[in-house]
């Protein structure tokens, strides 16, 4: 009787330990990796959406002359650089990703917080 109780207790304890370790690995490893991949895909999608605005805005050149929209060249450069950011992150090249992001920020005149 005591042996069966000990075996059951050890089984429950080991099961709990495996569950806790599984949750730990899922929360600290698997979920962040999945989130990173989702964000990388989102960057590419947003680059495509930004580029599509060049065709969606009727009379884009007119509005560009009035400076109501970003210059076409700036949008094209920004979307190209965004795709490069996505690729650099996938290739684990963080310095390149930062360079490309700086180019996006510059192309679109995105204000930056002072250090």
Predicted local distance difference test score (pLDDT) of residue 47: 92
Q: What is the pLDDT of residue 23?
A: 96
Instruction: Give the per-residue SS3 of the chain.
Output: CHHHHHHHHHHHHHHHHHHHHHHHHHHHHHHHHHHHHHHHHHHHHHHHHHHHHHHHCCCHHHHHHCCCCCCHHHHHHHHHHHHHHHHHHHCCCHHHHHHHHHHHHHHCCCCCCCC
pLDDT at 93: 84
Compute mean pLDDT per 10 residues along the chain, 115 residues long, and list them: 87 96 94 88 91 94 95 95 88 87 91 73
Domain edges within the chain: 34-110
């Amino acid at each position: 009787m005591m042996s069966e109780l000990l075996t059951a207790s050890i089984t429950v304890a080991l099961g709990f330990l495996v569950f806790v370790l599984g949750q730990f690995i899922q929360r600290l490893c698997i979920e962040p990796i999945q989130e990173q991949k989702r964000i990388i895909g989102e960057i590419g999608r947003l680059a495509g959406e930004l580029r599509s605005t060049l065709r969606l805005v009727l009379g884009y050149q007119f509005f560009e002359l009035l400076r109501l929209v970003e210059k076409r060249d700036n949008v094209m450069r920004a979307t190209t650089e965004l795709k490069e950011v996505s690729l650099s992150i996938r290739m684990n090249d963080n310095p390149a990703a930062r360079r490309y992001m700086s180019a996006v920020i510059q192309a679109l005149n995105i204000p930056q917080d002072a250090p």
